[in-house]
Chains A and B, each alone.
Chain A
Amino acid sequence: GQQLNQSPQSMFIQEGEDVSMNCTSSSIFNTWLWYKQDPGEGPVLLIALYKAGELTSNGRLTAQFGITRKDSFLNISASIPSDVGIYFCAGRMNYGGATNKLIFGTGTLLAVQP
């Protein structure tokens, strides 16, 4: 099955550092989503992007929908310990489609040292 290429696989950073991760696909997507999964919990939506070139922020998080519609980026500024978790990108090809199915990336594990 199709999965998105997400990098890096893991990151170990110091508190206060900025973080960048990205997701790429061989297919064009109409929607990009970024989720965070805390240990032992289900994924929670952070940011949704619906338009090529769109740049959206949610607090210290900023995500961009790539111009080619085949990639997306997530940046976290001034990281804090509670940012620890696994970050997943997800894409959908058909907005408003009958099934609303998402394709997920393989995840980026973020560890933040105080």
Chain B
Amino acid sequence: NAGVTQTPKFRVLKTGQSMTLLCAQDMNHEYMYWYRQDPGMGLRLIHYSVGEGTTAKGEVPDGYNVSRLKKQNFLLGLESAAPSQTSVYFCASSYSRGGNEQFFGPGTRLTVL
């Protein structure tokens, strides 16, 4: 099992450009999450999904959109990138019941100039 994978690993954008970050998991997890990690801020939840075709806002959703068309994939979109969105983005997934363990991907480092 590959676990949780993210593409790309690194990306540099200019202000106003758009991009999509892809997250894939092969553990048949129902729940998936997108976080951003900034220095001294820990991990903050952007959006999450409790199942295929469903999405919901997290703590810091502004400027991002998500889609979960397939159970194994969770896409994070930036329609018009801003320098404040420079961050490391992590995707995670978990089962819906039982333990709380969220499995994380390796992260995508995004720089917006």
Please list the residues of chain A having a beta carbon within 8 angstroms of any beta carbon in chain B.
1, 3-4, 6, 9, 31, 33, 40-45, 48, 88, 90, 92, 95-96, 98-102, 104-107
Contact = CB atoms under 8 A, between A and B. Distances in A.
B100 A102 contact: yes
Q: Interface extent on B, as a size class?
A: 20 to 34
Contacts of A9: 40
Nearest to B104: A42
Interface in B58-113: 58-60, 90, 92, 94, 96-97, 99-107
24 contacts: A1-B59, A6-B42, A9-B40, A33-B101, A40-B106, A41-B107, A42-B105, A42-B107, A45-B102, A45-B103, A48-B99, A88-B42, A90-B43, A98-B50, A99-B31, A100-B31, A100-B102, A101-B45, A102-B45, A102-B100, A102-B102, A105-B42, A106-B40, A106-B42
Main secondary structure of the interface of A (DSSP, over half): loop
B4 interface: yes
A29 to B, nearest CB: 11
B42 A41 contact: no
A43 B90 contact: yes
Contacts of A99: 31, 48, 50, 56
A88 B104 contact: no
